[in-house]
Structure 1
Amino acid sequence: MSATSHRARSPGAAADDHDASETTPLLAASTGGPLLADPDTEVSTLVDTTTPGTPTSSSPSGGKPLSKLQLFLLCYARLAEPLAFFSIFPFIAQMVQRNGRLADSDVGFYSGLLESLFSVMQMLVTVSWGRLGDRIGRKPVLLYSLAGTTIAPALFGLSSSLPQMFVFRCFAGVFSGGNLIIRTMIAENSTKETQTSAYSWLAFSNNVGLFLGPLVGGVFADPAEQYPNIFGGVKFFEDYPYALPGFAIGIISATAFLATALFMEETLQKHHESETEAQTAPPQPAMSMWELIGAPDVKFILCIYSYVMFLGLAFTAIIPVVLFTPINLGGIGLTATQISIFMAIQGASQAAWLLIAFPKLQRRYGTNIILKVCSAVQPFLFLSYVIINLLLRDGSSAATIWLWILSSIVIVLGPGTAMSFTGVQLAINDVAPNTSALSTINALALTLTSGIRSVVPGAATAIYAVGVRGDIFKGHLAWVILVPLAAGFGVACSRLPAEHKPPKYNENEEEL
C-alpha cells in the first residue's frame, strides 16, 4: 500500500468519546506512527527537552515526534531480554552436569533443551502479551515483563535440580514479551521519517544485550572458584555457584523496571479530538491473522524477515567457536583476550553502521537497496572466514599480508551487514496493509524469530562441531552450508516489492 493513502495524524488520535483501547490496540487497530506519515514531507524535528514527550515543534508529517529520553528508556528496557537469554550460555553445561549428575554424553542434550525452552515459551506468549497491552496499556505490560526478567534469572541461578532449571527457564521465557511492546511503543512515537533512527538504536541495544549477556554470565559464574580471594569460603556461593550471574542480570532488569515505572510515558491513552479532518477519521477495521497473512507481499516479507534472522542467528552462534577453534581444525585460533578485542572492534564498527551510516543511507537510497547490498555482501563475509583460515595455514609472508587486508575488511566492513536487521524491520512496517495491521504483523515476525532462535543456534554449533571433529571440508562444513544459503538470501532480496518513496534527504537533518 502507499503511505500517501492515509492522511497524517497523531498516533492513536480519535474522537473524545472513544476509549483508548478502542483507538490504538496493539493487535487489533493500532494507529501507531510510521504508516501514517507522508513520505514526501520534510523530516520532522525530534524532541530534545527535559520534559519527556514535549515537542520543540510540530511534526510536519503529523506524527508525534520521538523524545530522546523515551527512546533511551525503551532501548534500555530492550537489554533485559537478550541479557536473560544469553547469560546462561557460558556455564549452562557445567550447571546441567552438576544439578543433574549426568554423564558427559548427556550434557549437550539437556543444555540445548534448556537454551531452547526460553525461545519456545516466548514464541507461545508473544501474541498474548500484545493483546494484554491492548487492554491495560503498554507501560503496565512492559513493567510485568521487566519484573519477570528481574526475578526469573535469579531463580534459575538458585536451581539445584534439573526440574527446577526447566521450570525457571520456562518462567523466564514467559516474561520475555517486552520486545513486542517496545517495538510498538516506538512505532506509536515515531513518524515515517524518525523511525529509521529509532529502530537503528533499538537494533543496537539488542546487540549490546547479546554481547553483554555471555560476558556477565562468564564473569560471575562460580565466583568461589574464579575469585577465591574474594568469594572463597563463602558457603552460599559454594552451594549455589551460578546464583551470582542471575543476581547481576536481575539487578540490571530491576533498574530498567524502575526507570520505566518512573519516567516512561504510556502510548496507549485517550487522545483528544484533533482539529484536522484526518484526526477525526474513524479507526480502520481490524484484520484477522489469516487476512493479514493473505495480504499482498506480507508472506514474502515475513519470509525475508525469517531469512535474515536465520542467517544472523547462525552466524552469531558459531563465530565465537570459529575464533577459538585451532587453525589446523578450521578456526582462527585466537586467545580469549584476542577474541575480546576482535568482538569489541566488531561491536564498535556495527554501532557506527547502525547508528550513523544506516539512517543516512536509508533516507538517500531506501530500504530495498540496503537489503540488496547487505544480501550481496553476506556470502563473501561468510566465505572470508574460510579464506582467513587458509591464509593462516599457509603462513607465508604474502599470505600474511593478504591476511591483514582481509581481516581488516571483515572486522570493519563486515558488521555493516547488520543493517539488514533494521532494514527488514522497516520493510515489515512498509508492507502492512493498513495501520490496524502494523502491530499484528510485528507480533507474527517476533513469533517467527522466537521459533528460529529455539533451533538455529544449537543446530549451527552442532554442525560446526561435526565438521571440525570429522575434518569435513577441512573443518569448514558449516561455512559450506551457510555460504549458499546466504547467496539464496540475495536472490530472494532481488524480488523485494516496491517500497514507498524515501523522504527527501536533508544532510543537515537532526539525528537521534
Structure 2
Amino acid sequence: MVASPKSSPAGAEPSRERSAPGLGDENVLVDETTALLKPGTAIQSTEEIHKDDEKPLPKFQIMLLCYARAMEPLAFFSIFPYVSQMVQENGNVADTDVGFYSGLIESLFSVTQAMVMVLWGRAADRFGRKRVLVLSMIGVTVPTGLFGMAKSIQQMIMFRCLAGIFAGPIVTIRTMIAEHSTPKTQARAFSWFAFSGNLGMFFGPLMGGALANPAAQYPGIFGDIAFFKNYPYALSSLVVALVGSTAVVSSALFVEETLEKTPTPESNGEEAGAHSLSQSTMSTRDLLTSPGVGSALYIYGNLMVLAFAFTAIVPVFWFTPIKFGGYGFTPLQISLMMGLNGAAQATWLLLVFPPLERRIGSKGVIRLCGYAYPAFFMLLPMGNVLLRRGTDASVNAFWIFMPTVLVLGCGVSMSFTAIQLLVNDVSPSPRVLGTLNALALTCMSLLRAVCPASFTSLFAIGAGTQLAGGYAIWILLALLATPLSYVVRYLPDRKKAHKRQNSQDN
C-alpha cells in the first residue's frame, strides 16, 4: 500500500541536494513524490513469491545428494564389525586394552569432524557448494579406502583422522538440499535426506562384517589371493571407497551449484548493500546470537543426545538378561528388532512426516515428539516387567506389546528431520546457511564421540546396582527429553508468518 504524497509548500523549489537511490543521475530532481527505485528494478512480488513456493522439487538433484550423503555414515560405521580384531592383530595388545583402542579409533572420526566442520561450512558459503562437496568427498574416500591396509594402530588412527578432516560433504549436502527446496517441498526433501543417512548406517556394518577377512570367510573365492591374506580388511574398506568414488563422479558431473541461485538482498542503495555485506560476512558470535539460533541449536543438541544414547543403549538393553532389567534377546532376535526399528523409522519419515509437517509445522512436530519421548522411554522397561512375571500369558503379551511400542515409538525420529528444517528457518541469511549447518553438525560430531560410551556405561552401572529396579537409565532419558516441548516455543514460526503475509497481500 502506497501513502498519498504530501503537497509541497507553495513556491518551494524541488531539492537538488541528493539523487534518488538507484537512479544514478545527479541531475535528477528529487522531492517527496520521487520514486525511490527506477522502473525495471528487480523486486520480488507476491506473485513471484507464490511462484517460488510452487516450484517442484528437483528429484534428480535430491537423489544425487542423498546418494552422496550416505557415504559419511557408510564410512563411519563400516569398520565397527572388525575394528576390535584389527586392533588386536595390528597392535598385539592385551584383550583388556582392545576396547580402549577400538573406542578411540571409532571416536576420532567424529572428534576430528567437529574440529573442522565450521571451516568447511564457511568454505561452502564463500567458494560454492559443489566445489567443496566434490573436494571433501574425495578427501573422505581416499583414507577410507586405505584404512583397511593399515598395519599398525598409529596408521589406523592417521587414516581415521584424515577421513574426519574432510567433513565437508554432510555440511554441504544439508545446505544444498535446503537451497533446492521451498517451504512446501523441504519436508519431503529432508525426509529422503534422513532416510539416506539411515541406509548408510544400515549397510555400513553389513558391508564391513560381510567383507572382512574374505580369505577366511570365502576361501573358495579369495583363499588363494595373497593380498587379502596380508591385508584381511582391505576388501571391506576398498568396497566402501568404491561406493564413495561413484558418489564423487556423480556429484562432479551432475550435481548443480546452488549458492549462485540463492536469493540475496539486492543492493538498492548504500543501506541495502551494507545489509547484504553484513549478512554474508557475519561472525560466528553474531550468528549464534541471532533470533532463534540458540534455541534451535539447543534443541538439535538435545535430540542428538537422545538419539545417540538410545542407539547405543538399546542393543545392550535387548541383550541384557531379564533379571538385570533387559529382554535377554538372542543375536538373531536383536537383528530382527533392529530391522523392525529401521523399517518403522523409514515409514514415519517417508510417509507420515511430510503431510504431518504441512499440517502442524516443524515446531508442532517437535512439540509432539517432545511429549512422546518420555512416554516411549518409560514404556520400554514395561516389557521387562512382563518378562519377569514368567507366565505364558505375560510372555505372549510381551511379544504383542514390545513390537507395537517400538513401531509407534519410532515416530519420535521425525523430530530429527523437523529440527533440520527449523535450523534452516532461523538462518538470518542464505549466505550463512552453510556455517549454521556446520555449527549444528559440530555439535552432533562431539556428541557422537562422547554419548555412546557414556550412556552404555551408565546403563551398565544401573543394571549392576539395580538402581530403580535396573530402569534408572530410562528415567534419565525421559528427564532429558522433558525440556523439548518447552524450548521449542521460543523458535520463530516462519510457516505461520509466511501464511499470514500471504493473506495480507491477497
Q: What TM-score comes out, normalization by structure 1 length?
A: 0.81
- C-alpha contact 1:100 1:161 (8 A) present in aligned 2: yes
Partner-residue secondary structure (3-state), 2:278: coil
2:311 corresponds to 1:316: yes
> Does 2:172 align with 1:178?
no
Cα displacement (A) at 1:452: 1.0
CA distances 1:65-84 after superposition (whole Å, capped 9, x unpaired): 43100000000000000111
1:100 aligns with 2:91: yes
Q: Matches of 2:80 and 2:419 in 1, distance apart? A: 27
Matched, 1:239 2:230: yes
Q: 1:285 aligns with which of 278, 281, 296?
A: 278
What secondary structure does 1:265 align onto? coil
Instruction: Give the structure 1 partner of residue 31 of structure 2.
Output: none
3-state DSSP of counterpart to 1:410: helix
Deviations along 1:283-306, one digit per CA (max 9) or x if unpaired, are: 463222111212233212211110
Aligned partner letter, 1:345: L
Contact 1:65 1:189 in 2 (8 A): no
Is the 1:37–1:191 contact (alpha carbons within 8 Å) kept by the matching residues of 2?
no
In the TM superposition, what are the counterparts of 1:263-302 in structure 2 within 5 Å?
263-269=254-260, 283=276, 285-286=278-279, 287-302=282-297
The structure having more radius of gyration, on CA atoms, is: 2
Q: Percent identity at matched positions?
A: 48
The 3 A distance-change label for structure 1 pair 163 and 128 is same
Is residue 2:221 matched to residue 1:230? yes
- CA gap of 1:205–1:354, structure 2 versus 1, over 3 A, is same
Task: State the alpha-carbon separation in 2 of the partners of residues 240 and 406 from structure 1.
Answer: 46
* 1:363 and 2:349 correspond: no
| Kept in 2: contact 1:37–1:192 (CA 8 A) | no
Are 2:126 and 1:131 equivalent residues in the alignment? no
C-alpha distance 343-240 of structure 1, shift in aligned 2 (>3 A): same
Matched, 1:85 2:59: no
Query: Which has the larger helix fraction?
Result: 2
Give the aligned residue type for 1:72: M
Question: Who is 1:164 aligned against?
Answer: 155
Amino acid at match of 1:441: L
Q: What value does the CA root-mean-square deviation take over the aligned residues?
A: 3.0
Cα 1:317–1:270 change in 2 (3 A) is closer
Which of the numbers 322, 339, 343 marks the counterpart of 1:348? 343
> Which structure 2 residues correspond to residues 416-427 of structure 1 after superposition, within 5 A?
416-427=411-422
Deviation, structure 1 residue 403: 1.2
SS at match of 2:348: helix
Q: When the two structures are superposed, what TM-score results if normalisation uses the length of structure 2?
A: 0.81
Alignment map for 1:361-510 (pairs within 5 Å): 361-469=356-464, 472-473=467-468, 475-493=470-488, 495-502=489-496
Deviation at residue 358 of structure 1 after TM alignment:
0.8
- Provide, for residues 103-142 of structure 1, a one-character-per-residue CA deviation record: whole Å limited to 9, x for no partner: 1221121111111110111111112222332444221221
Number of equivalenced pairs: 451
Unaligned runs of 5+ in 2: 1-21, 23-42, 500-506
Deviates more, 1:203-212 or 1:74-83: 203-212
**Farther-moved stretch of structure 1 (226-235 vs 257-266):** 226-235
Q: Relative to 1, partners in 2 of residues 1:332 and 1:191: Cα closer, same or farther, differing over 3 Å? A: same
Using CA pairs under 8 Å that are at least 6 residues apart, name the structure with larger relative contact order, 1 or 2: 1
After alignment, is 481-490 or 306-315 more displaced? Answer: 481-490
Work out the CA distance in 2 between the residues paired with 1:304 and 1:434. 20
2:191 counterpart (190, 200, 223): 200
Query: 1:70 aligns to what?
Result: 61
**CA deviation map 1:288-341 (0-9, x unaligned):** 211121223321221111001111111112222223333334332333333232
Letter in 2 for 1:153: T
1:413 is paired with a residue whose SS is helix
Query: C-alpha deviations, 1:160-215, integer Å up to 9, x for none?
Result: 10110110000110123211111111122111221111111111111111122122
Once the two structures are overlaid, the 10-residue window that deviates more, 219-228 or 164-173, is 219-228
Aligned partners of 1:368 and 1:496 also within 8 Å: no
Structure 1: 5+ residue runs without aligned partners?
1-14, 16-35, 45-57, 505-512
Equivalent AA in structure 1 for residue 207 of structure 2: V
